[in-house]
Amino acid sequence: MKSRLLAILAAALICSLLPCLSAPALAQSNPGTYTFDISEGSITVQSSPNHQGRFEVLYGASQSLDDIGPSQQITIIGSSTTNTVEVSVKGTANITLKDVSITISSTSPFSIRPDAAVNLTVDAANTLNDSSGSNAGLEVPFGATLEITGASTGSLTAIGGSNGSAGIGSAGSGGSAGSGGTVTINGGSVKATGGENGAGVVGSGIGGGGSAAGNSGSGGTVTINGGSIAATGGSGIGGGSGVVGGSGGTVTINGGSITATGNGPGAGIGGGCGTVGGNGAKVTINGGSVKATGGNGNGGSAIGGGGGSMGGPGSGGKVTINGGSVTANSIQYTVYNNSNTQEYLVTVAGLPSGASASYAVNGGSAVSCAADASGKLYLWLPIGIKKIAITASGVQYEASGTISAGPNNFTVRTPGTFSDAPSSFWGYDAISNLCAKGIVSGYPDGTFQPNSNITRAEFCVMLVKALGLSASETEASFTDVSPSDWYYSPVSTAVSADLVSGMGNGAFAPNAPITREQMAVMVAKALGNHAPTVAGSELNPFSDSSSVDSWAIKGMEQAIKSGIVNGMNGTLAPLDNATRAQSAAMIYKLLGVLGDNG
């Protein structure tokens, strides 16, 4: 009887262990980590049906593990040609891929469903490849979120299906393809390649899928903070390619080493190519090293719009370069003038000397132009011209590469080459330097008119721009300055910075010519901590020193001692109206004292 009872107990114990023995390898190395082997079955991470805010993992032959907390780590190992990973949680799952290889042709190797989010760590070498199917290597459709962090030697290769799916992003389609979701890369080595069907339908490396019939997917939101990223596809980073190229979405690069290459005429970063090219992304580069190469033919740009074989290339989107190093074989900008009163100077800096470029106004025909010897391209956008598209080739940007805007008239020329201010003119250096910075400008007929008077409002605008002052919320309270005036904001800013004051009767006299002593006082105030201590004898060498108004004496003395005012043939002419050339010279010398006239 005793032996029979022991046999029954042993059999019961064995039966209780059978589910664990038939499951795929599952180990809990510590209370916060679970490991699953993809070779033993597909893995689905979903919201727990029994525990709110927690997860359940389905794996293997109908096995499940419930009540996993959002902070706990799910590690996936192994290789497979039949099994997949799917994440459909309502929340964020923490998943590590460790030496995983999934190559499959029927579905995405790893898919994140809309509204789900994954913090993905890549450890060792990992590959996700939809070799001949219709899905992304790592599917992140619109509404889904992926954040990638790499271990010290972690890498991820993601290859989209051959119908035009993204390497990382959305799937391709026979109809309209899906747009990419939100992808953030913080580190690791990531190689993303969009699939291609051989007929021009190409998914992006990171972003939207391509479409054989409808609109290709847009790029979604891509942020790169670090790591080494190589993205190749209809656009390297951005929209997919197909009948209609997908637009680029939003791309922000803060760090890392990025190589983005567009296939066909797709953009390296931006719009995909198609019969109609996709519009460029909103691209912001704050740091890192970026190499962007647009595909050949039909207007594909390295950063900007994708090329179009019939409908024309897409517009360049908005590109802002605040830092980092950016190399591109071409780049597109579209600059808009939404003002009915302001004209704008567009400066594209950082080009090779003499680099070829072109611009088109309001969608018109392209006009050829070239950068000057210092690698700067200047284009003027007047009132009534709502947008100008610029394409420059052979671009090499460094941290100073910018697009800047400021008042000017429309023309294409190297600043400083004005017919009435040649290199032999005494104020040439000041005029050309300030013109290059967008602080002063010439006229449509190619003149600068150096001997013309300048108004108090005009000089105020020059001074605010030269100092790079941000617009003030303080409103000017002068009786003759109203919010509708084009100079209202800079005058308000100058008053807030204590650079200017009125005429003593509540008026500012914005359209009155500025006198030399008024200009000297404003510049002296702009010196700030650089203002020198004066002895009271600085005016003595000038024969008309007694003409300086008492309120202007200290400012004039400081301007003289700083080397900003030198006088004219032994005189100061303090009450004379200042000329455009004199104002440029005074601002130029001010910037020299402040260490910013390079």
| φ, ψ (nearest 5 deg) of residue 27 | -130, 140
Give the pairing of strands 145-150 and 182-185: parallel
Across the 598 residues of the chain, what is the mean pLDDT of every consecutive 10-residue run?
Answer: 50 44 46 87 93 90 86 94 93 95 88 92 93 76 89 86 66 48 90 65 56 50 90 66 53 88 65 49 79 59 47 50 69 55 58 72 71 70 60 52 38 52 88 80 73 93 89 82 86 91 88 95 94 92 94 94 92 95 94 78
pTM of the model: 0.57
- What is the structure's pLDDT at 387? 62
For residue 332 the two structure tokens come to 């597109």
The ranges assigned to domains in the chain are 21-83, 93-329, 337-414, 428-594
- What is the structure's pLDDT at 107? 81
Rounded CA separation 379/471 (Å) = 24
Rounded CA separation 309/307 (Å) = 7
Residues 590 and 559 sit within 8 Å (Cβ to Cβ): no
Rounded CA separation 342/346 (Å) = 13
- What is the structure's pLDDT at 277? 46
Rounded CA separation 65/511 (Å) = 78
**Start-to-end C-alpha separation, the chain:** 102
The Cβ of residue 403 has, within 10 Å, a number of other Cβ atoms equal to 15
Sequence-separated (6 or more) residues with CB below 8 Å from residue 279: 239, 247, 248, 270, 271, 305, 306, 314, 315, 316, 317
Q: Virtual CA dihedral for 473, 478, 484, 485, nearest 10 degrees?
A: -100
- What is the structure's pLDDT at 432? 81
